[in-house]
Structure 1
């Protein structure tokens, strides 16, 4: 079972990360042959597929590399200046596993997948512009479920450099993204995004102001995707200058509390990205109920929106989906890669 899960996630790493693809395929072979990977994954044999044990395994090894404890393996990792040599990657990974097997097992067991990808600010920013415009330009109260380190709670403080030279958001921002848009959000891009308040929760929040938190998030970046690592580091620096606390809480319980009241004159937006697969069926059902209860109380002067960027089983795309209450709008705004860029804007009905 574990070997299959490793191979499944390995396939999704292409074309972006040949290194992670090769590492997880070799680890799957090692699992099937009774190798050291079985010891490193002890206790995770019955983990739900949604917890993605293969990514947790890859992150544990990357953690060792970033922390300077696996120098031979680090020679393959561009995130620390290495050059991948796929033909010898597994032999060096196996040696690191044998030396640090207990630590890898601890990291795999202790950590949840954390893909706090700043590139997703691109779809989020455009989606918030659309949502606000559809309710008359109201400022946004942003509630993010599954915030991780909260790096996507500052969409208005990012510089979005478009292909024609236009810069949206904050042109002076240290976090500068080329969102790689095809098309544009169906909204007035010259109107600034008003954010009235921001809050987030996570069952395993990461304090990005600490070395441990920064190392943890960095370990989940695929090591041969250097631009992603650079985006992450810029987003962490931005977070240090603009702190937004992330509450340790179950998302469904947190939403029940946060949606008890919908403030007048503000659009409350519930947002999540690439986290739905990690929630249990019970958590999903409770979250849907909390949202439905709030939607029933939404008014034109105190509207509610759901904005999500999640993979769709039907076609494998990651889609940006928007619902608005009480307007009854349900829109598919576009689709893109899991890391938020590139992204194609294409408004259609959702559902």
Structure 2
């Protein structure tokens, strides 16, 4: 039931974004009563949970606000200087839904969830340092392997630049690129089991996505911005800085399915680099068939890996626990066969606790 999916999404973000949670709960009530939201969401009644129709709905509204076409609603949106008044929020949403019904319905149908949260670069940076240094030790190298970074579900490619960010882990502790236009507070507890003073060298970076976002266009930048919860200004600021950084040297993101794209890039081992396959909070959107095919492709590539041409899988995905979900950073390396759980953190990569242990 669509209203239940909206309610579930509201519960997931309730502790983080009161504005988004209120929108979703009010929209769920409106769906149940047959209000205007039923016309906005017409055709999407059978959308599955993984497509997160509620967040596509709130993003479509946010897009109108960002474009300056919903001034009565904008006063509730901190992303454009407003301040939420949750008691009257829905009263100001209703006129927008009535005026823009067809446009909102079209955008909801044409858009997939694209957060491309740059905060996830923080655990990625630490994970790559562990992987590159671990692979070097196995190969008997004095220096860490340079990295060839391949991202599945890369969206706009914002997380393909982890080496170009300044990570301010403490007042007098900065890792990565201290001259970067993007300074990120990783909110780390502990540190990765790696020498963070060693530079992380990424010599090749590219990604794939079924619906890549083109950062060179205003439409692409607005799409990403619209999916940020409007009352989370820290995330909003991170995204704007990440967009600025990515514009300096955009990473290529090809429109392709993960298995097909990965099969081409893993067909032949590349010597003298560590090839890292990376994905974050994308697994829920991948079909069971593509998951199985991707695992088979990775297993075949792992069998071809050598100490001089190693391979790693680094993922940041939610895992179900007895209390809900936990986002874990997991690393597998070949040919060493190491399986490590490096730590866990928030869904947006921040905060993060480093706690390395074996992973079965």
Q: Same fold, TM exceeding 0.5?
A: yes
**Aligned residue among 323, 326, 331 for 1:317:** 326
Instruction: Please list, as runs of the form range in 1=range in 2, the aligned pairs for 1:1-351 lying within 5 A after superposition.
Output: 1-136=1-136, 137-314=144-321, 315-351=324-360
Secondary structure at the residue paired with 1:95? helix
- Structure 1 segments of 4+ aligned residues over 3 angstroms from their partners: none
Please report how far the alpha carbon of residue 14 of structure 1 lies from its aligned counterpart in structure 2 after TM superposition.
2.4
| Distance in structure 2 (CA, Å) of the matches to 1:101 and 1:284 | 36
Query: Per-residue CA shift, 1:75-121, capped at 9, x if unaligned?
Result: 10000000000001111111111110111101110011001111111
Moved more, 277-286 or 26-35: 277-286
User: Residues 163-190 of structure 1: CA distance to partner in whole angstroms, max 9, x if unpaired?
Assistant: 2421100000010000000000110111
Residue 242 of structure 1 deviates from its aligned partner by: 1.2
CA contact (8 A) 2:205 2:252 kept: no
Q: Residue 87 of structure 2: SS of its match in structure 1?
A: helix
For residues 149 and 110 of structure 2, the distance between their equivalents in structure 1, rounded to whole angstroms, comes to 29
Q: Deviations over 1:184-223 (max 9, x none)?
A: 0110111110112101111100111211100000000000
Cα distance in structure 2, aligned partners of 1:350 and 1:40: 45
Counterpart secondary structure, 2:83: coil
Q: What per-residue deviation string (whole Å, max 9, x for no partner) do you get for residues 53-88 of structure 1?
A: 111111011011101111111110000000000001
Structure 1: state its 5+ residue gaps.
none
Per the TM alignment, residue 229 of structure 1 is displaced from its structure 2 partner at its CA by: 0.9
Gap regions ≥5 residues in structure 2: 137-143
Distance 2:110 2:38 in 1: 17
Distance 1:65 1:171 in 2: 35
Q: CA RMSD in A?
A: 0.8
